[in-house]
Amino acid sequence: MAWTFFNMQMAFRSPPGDPLRQAVRDLVVKSGHRHTPSQHRELYRRLNELVQRAMPQLQRWAWDLVRTDSARDDYQEWNTDLEDTSDVPDMQANAATPFEQHAVITVILLTPQGSVADQGLGVLCDLPESIWMRRATCARLLAGLESLDFATMHGDGIYLQPGPRGHGPLAADLDDGWDWLAAVE
């Protein structure tokens, strides 16, 4: 079976206690164990609502639509890496500069190629390269997620790093450990 993998990773300027982090955390934590596709779509609608408000805080980001043979492996590598917190470095040293810290929000999606969700992603991501890294593009992609057909989505994940009270990476940390994130245009 051929797969499509989509990811978005967004680094927002966000100090500990930032309402954005708290709101995203509450959304994920209270989202429940089982959803209908409509409920799941509502989850993404609310995520979009929250994150759009923070769009001015967006500093760096990356996105990708993968339709190669590696799509499914990429999805698994992503969720494995994201969920393995054993090697997360201590960011306590950044406590002195809370307003220089970032929070990273990640969305990953996996759907069979040819599915309605895949077609939706195809339309959503059909963008000229010249605008790939714009803030408005980030907002558009995020807003488009809620229109996807989650009935045909195989898997998806929403992640926030760190949690509401944790200390996040500074710009230098992003340069070092998140170097694939590009500055927003």
Partner 1 sequence: MAEADQSPIERLTFFDKTELVGARWWQPSVSDEGDTNTPGRRKALLILGALVAAPLAVAVVNHLSDDSATDQIRPSTDLQRENGWDVGSAGRKLDWADANITDVDGSVDWQKHVKTLASDLAPPPPLLLPWALPTLLQMPSLPINASLANQIMPICDSSDMPDAWQVGRALVGQLGVVPGAHSDLMVVVDLPGPKSISVAAALSDAMTPVFILDNCPHPAGVVPAHRTLGALLYLLPRFLAGPSVRPAGAPPVLVLDSARLSPYSDAPDQFDNRYLARMPSPAQLREVGVAHVLYVGMSTDVLDDLVDSFDAWVKAGIDIRMVQYGDFTPTTSTTGEPNFGPGRRAWFGGTAESDAGFWYNYGWYQPTVPRPLGWVARPSGLWRFRWRSSVFGSNLGRVHTIRWGGGLGSSGRSGSWTRTGGSSFG
In the range 36-95, which residues lie near partner 1 by CB under 8 A? 36-40, 61-68, 74, 76-85, 87-89, 91
CB of 59 to partner 1, least distance (A): 14
Establish if 154 lies at the interface with partner 1 (CB under 8 A). yes
d(C-alpha 33, C-alpha 54), whole Å:
27
Nearest to 13 by CA among 139, 104, 102: 102
- Count the site residues for partner 1 by CB under 8 A: 85
Establish if 112 lies at the interface with partner 1 (CB under 8 A). yes
Find the binder of partner 1 among 100, 139, 159, 171 (CB under 8 A).
159
- The pairs formed by 124-131 with CB atoms below 8 angstroms and a separation of 24 or more are 124/148, 125/6, 125/63, 125/65
d(C-alpha 84, C-alpha 78), whole Å:
10
Beta strand 182-183 with 155-161: parallel, antiparallel or unpaired?
Answer: unpaired
Find the binder of partner 1 among 55, 127, 143, 171 (CB under 8 A).
127
CB of 100 to partner 1, least distance (A): 14
d(C-alpha 30, C-alpha 177), whole Å:
30
Find the binder of partner 1 among 45, 53, 135, 165 (CB under 8 A).
165
Establish if 175 lies at the interface with partner 1 (CB under 8 A). no
